Structure 1
Amino acid sequence: MTKNAKSTGESWIDPDDAPKLDQAWADGADAYVGKTLVRRGRPRLEQTKQHVSLRLDPDVIASFKAGGPGWQARINEALRKAARL
């Protein structure tokens, strides 16, 4: 059997020994308006990006990564300019 990734690490036998449910627990619970689940997080985009596998030279990747976070978006922008879109 695999270990539950969200386990609190505490174990108990008697259900009366279970931890109290507090506001922090409730804040992480799913929210509903009527019977509709309220989605959290980033809204869905009209046009999502397509996943591709692309082999690039290590020095090209290193150059983009050297610019810090957002290197994949910078590669996308460079390809967009090269394609003249």
Structure 2
Amino acid sequence: MKPPRRTGSAFERAEAAFKSATTKPVEAASRPAPKTIGVPEGKEMVSIRLDRAVLEHFQEDGPGWQDRINAALRTAARLEGE
């Protein structure tokens, strides 16, 4: 019995396999993002050097010290209304 005959050349099969592996899938239509009035923008992780006394001051009230530093910086930068 003869083996099943392959259709197309080896090049065509390789090209088809490459295209199927590298083609981006079609994304579903997305809904527009909801309006975020008054919602603070996302936060970004950064590395900053602070004096030990400054760090201890904000940490002495426990968890949330990073938010307290952020609030103090927003006040100093006059960003409270934004």
TM-score computed with the length of structure 2 as normaliser: 0.46
Say which structure is richer in strand: 1
Greater C-alpha radius of gyration: 2
Point out which structure has higher relative CO (alpha carbons under 8 A, 6+ apart): 2
TM-score computed with the length of structure 1 as normaliser: 0.44
